[in-house]
Amino acid sequence: MIGQLEELHGVLLVDKPQAHTSHDVVARLRGKLHTRKIGHAGTLDPMATGLLIMLVGKATRISQYLISLDKEYTGSIELGKITDTQDAEGRVMETRPVPALSEAELRKAMAGFMGDQYQTPPMYSAIKIDGVPLYKKARAGAEVVREPRFIRVGAFDLTRFGLPQFDFRLRCSKGTYVRTIANDLGERIGCGGHLAALRRTASGQFSLDQALPLEAILELSRAEIKARLIPIHEAAPSVAL
């Protein structure tokens, strides 16, 4: 049956639902499209929702180009609770009182994360050391030294002020762990904190407005999905295949 189907090639923009890993989305689309040649450009944690760039067929060749694009997010940070994963899915390790911050004081603390910097990746991440993902070491109770990575934060704006939880908008370079920014912001303030919610709204020139929810895509016919595919030369015009 697979051999009788027209091969599809291009970029598909998906609005990832919560509680799905990026690999879950790959697996479900792989079954829908009857192809093994499918991947994604930029992982989203299960807790996160929003834009996931899916690469179908020959579009997998431009993976590195699309992964390197800057990302934009909206989300919420909760101060006063430190979790082992740095987000709301983790176990609360410590609770501290939240100081009576003013909106101006919070904005000033957030502004300290702007620009070029080095970030230490969290233990609960897919980064491999000696061939083993860090999250597996973390689950075993191990703590290992991680090499800081260069990142750039282009915007970190307060969009709703509140304590202990507030909303933000973030624009950053590839490889940035937003939950680590939440954790580190809490440490700078002195009360700790974690990422309470996250939604990716853009990746380079691609916007969440162009995406469809995963479940809606799975309801489409093969022809309708083909019509939604962004041609490779449009998705990565500067890449020679």
Both tokens of residue 212?
A: 């469809």
Determine which helix (DSSP H) or strand (DSSP E) holds 202, and give its type and residue range: strand 193-203
Q: Give the largest Cα separation in the chain, rounded.
A: 65
Q: 102: Cβ–Cβ under 8 A, 6 or more apart, which residues?
A: none
In degrees, to the nearest 5, what angle opens at C-alpha 16 toward C-alphas 13 and 20?
140
What 3-state DSSP class applies to 239?
coil
Q: Among the options 45, 84, 87, 116, which is catalytic?
A: 45
45 belongs to the catalytic site = yes
* Rg of the chain on CA atoms, in Å: 19
SS percent in the chain: helix, strand, coil, step 5: 30, 35, 35
Q: Are strands 193-203 and 49-56 parallel, antiparallel or unpaired?
A: parallel
* Measured distance between the N- and C-terminal CA atoms of the chain, rounded to whole angstroms: 29
Show which residues are catalytic: 45
